[in-house]
Amino acid sequence: MAQLADVVHLVEHVLGPNVLGAYQYGSAVLRGGLRPYSDLDVLVVTGRSLGAEERRALVDGLLGGVSAPPEGQRELRPVELTVVVESDVRPWQYPPRCDFQYGEWCREHYERGEVPQPGSDEDVAVLLAMALAADTALAGPPPRCLLDPVPWRDVRRASLAAVEPLRAEAAEDTRNAVLTLARVHATLSTDRFRSKAEGASWTLGRLPQQYRPILAQALAVYEGEAEEPAAWPAAELDAYVAHMAAEITRLAEGD
């Protein structure tokens, strides 16, 4: 895929020999594959933290035609680019530290001049575990050569930590929140990473009937089979989110 090659080229051009490895993860390398609204997910492992000019150059490159918002150019996908420093995640410790993360949900902030800064990020535990499971190198050695295994208990902890942010975002980013909750539920139920589409389909068949319509609608939009509604039903959304949050909490806190 040309866009994926452009992401790797940008990273290598900006960071040079600081790049130890680059890895694809997410829906593209899971059963079910990419859908019309899927992101391209790339993890980069570096030998040191990024400098201010490097952060700005990566953001400018992504904004300048390497990435696009979900509702943007159809020939370009949104890119989620995450950078970790090897010594920050190896030996493994929880929560992990993220050195840089670009996501299209922050495009307006980037366009105002902000750039991603380093800090602890529980969700990176899931990303690292997914990259290790996918074992898909775009540059450098296999991910296991640079990353320690992530204990499944930390995947569960990170999944639980993601619930409240998803609840807070559900009204504004409904489709993504609905599908992500379903994927997390499926992953924790089966101890296996699933694409967003596969995870939603798995959960859909196991939900109580009253919670199925909003997930089915979100999945149809994600698959390109339906248009995004002008407004999602608030009562159904609230009930679905509350149910999924309770189920994920039960699974994450279980033995």
SS3 label, residue 34:
coil
How far apart are the C-alpha atoms of 146 and 246, rounded to whole Å?
35
The three-state secondary structure class of 162 is coil
Q: In the structure, what pLDDT confidence band is assigned to residue 1 with cuts at 50, 70 and 90?
A: confident
Q: Which pLDDT does position 193 carry in this prediction? A: 93
Question: Is residue 19 over pLDDT 60?
Answer: yes
Q: Distance between CA atoms of 205 and 19, rounded to whole angstroms?
A: 42
Q: What local confidence, expressed as pLDDT, does residue 158 receive?
A: 96
**Mean per-residue pLDDT over the chain, rounded:** 93
User: Half-sphere exposure of 130 toward its Cβ, with a 13 Å CA cutoff?
Assistant: 27
- pLDDT of res. 255: 52
Of residues 70 and 102, more confidence is placed in 102
Which amino acid belongs to residue 162?
A
Q: What percent of the chain has pLDDT over 90?
A: 83
Is 80 known to be catalytic? yes
Taking the CB of residue 173, how many other CB atoms lie within 10 A of it? 14
Beta bridge partners of 40: 79
Domain ranges of the chain: 2-152, 162-253
What's the confidence (pLDDT) of residue 29? Answer: 83
Sign of the CA dihedral running 9, 14, 19, 21: negative
Q: Determine the pLDDT at residue 224.
A: 85
Residue 138, SS3 per DSSP: strand
Element (H, E) at 88: helix 86-89
Per the residue annotation, which of 53, 54, 80, 111 is the catalytic one?
A: 80
Distance from C-alpha of 10 to C-alpha of 31, rounded to nearest angstrom? 28
Q: What 3-state DSSP class applies to 31?
A: coil
Residue type, 8: V
Q: What is the pLDDT of residues 81-129, one digit of tens each?
A: 999 999 999 999 999 999 999 999 899 999 999 999 999 999 999 999 9
pLDDT level of residue 72 (50, 70, 90 thresholds): low
Q: Flag whether pLDDT at 17 surpasses 80.
A: yes
Is residue 97 within 8 A of residue 50, CB to CB? The reply is no
Q: Hey, is 204 helix, strand or coil?
A: helix
Per-residue model confidence (pLDDT) at position 33: 63
Lowest-confidence pick of 24-28, 31-35, 132-136: 31-35
Are 215 and 182 in contact by the 8 Å Cβ rule? The answer is yes
